[in-house]
Amino acid sequence: MISLINVTRYHGPPSDPRFVLNDVSLRVEPMDRIGILAPSGSGKSTLARIISGHERPDAGHVIQRGHLSWPMGFSAALHPALKVADNIATVATLRNMDPYELVTKVEDFAQIGASFFRPLSELAPGERSQVALALSLSVVFDIYLADDMNVSANPAFREKCDAALMDRLASAGLIMMSRHPRMLKAFATRFFVLAHAGLIECETAAQAEDILNLLIHEDVPPHAIA
């Protein structure tokens, strides 16, 4: 379970704040699939960092129970000088998993052939993103967190990721933030719009898309939406 209670985060001085999140509340139950539609620069990454406890809000509280994933497709923790296989083995050891099992699983999933045994720095960006996604989907969590999940250019791999995520969601929750309604429609069952530092709950993905259009393109103020 994850609970955000009146969370506020702003930049600049308190006398002249630029709000990223303003009095945002959200409760995520264990099997909830939350889809947050948010344009670029709306505070997706800040919200993801606050949810995962890596950033403290200026006001409000965050309660987190259970194992929350790192943002899916996050690759910054993998060391560029280490071979991909060694990176994965390190992650497995740190998380008290069987390194051989995780390496085999990620190798099968990522499908990057011999590149799997080369230093990460020698991989093409697409291969790197495939490794990061394969790693995220090979570890079991209670809730998966996706912050504008890096989608591979390879359609076959994309389908494989979608299927694997769906499989995981049979026994886990999801918080997905994206600017692509397609992603949210495919995985989420509860929808929100993140814009103007606020989170607005919607009934469907289509409604979320409409509200986002009103807020951003028609410049309708958030209080008018309610």
Minimum CB separation from other proteins for residue 136, in Å?
10
Q: How far is the CB of 119 from other proteins (least distance, A)?
A: 8
For the window 52-91, what string marks contact with other proteins as x by the rule CB under 8 A? Answer: xxxxxxx-----------xx--x-xx-x-xx---x---xx
On whether the CB atoms of residues 187 and 161 are closer than 8 A, the answer is: no
Distance in angstroms (rounded) separating the CA atoms of residues 149 and 161: 11
Q: How many residues bind other proteins (CB under 8 A)?
A: 24
Query: Cα dist. 156→159, 160, 163, 176 in Å?
Result: 5, 6, 11, 21
Determine contact, residues 204/190, Cβ cutoff 8 Å.
no
Options 23-31, 46-54, 105-113, 213-221: segment touching other proteins (CB under 8 A) = 46-54
Counting contacts by CB under 8 A, is residue 96 touching other proteins?
yes
The two three-digit tokens of residue 11, written as one number:
């930049």
Closest CA to 186 of 200, 212, 165, 209: 165
Written as one string, the DSSP assignment of 86-116 is HHHHHHHHHTT--HHHHHHHHHHHH--GGGG
Stretch that binds other proteins, among 27-35, 47-55, 173-181, 203-211 (CB under 8 A): 47-55
Q: How far apart are CA 208 and CA 38, in angstroms?
A: 9
The Cα 176–Cα 153 span in angstroms is 19
The verdict on 32 binding other proteins (CB under 8 A) reads no
Task: Map the footprint of other proteins across residues 163-182, applying CB under 8 A.
Answer: none
Q: Applying CB under 8 A, does 209 fall inside the site for other proteins?
A: no
Question: How far apart are CB 79 and other proteins at their closest, in Å?
Answer: 5
Q: Which of 49, 158, 179, 196 binds other proteins (CB under 8 A)?
A: 49
Choice between 87 and 208, CB closer to other proteins: 87
List interacting residues with other proteins (CB under 8 A): 9, 49, 52-58, 70-71, 74, 76-77, 79, 81-82, 86, 90-91, 93-96
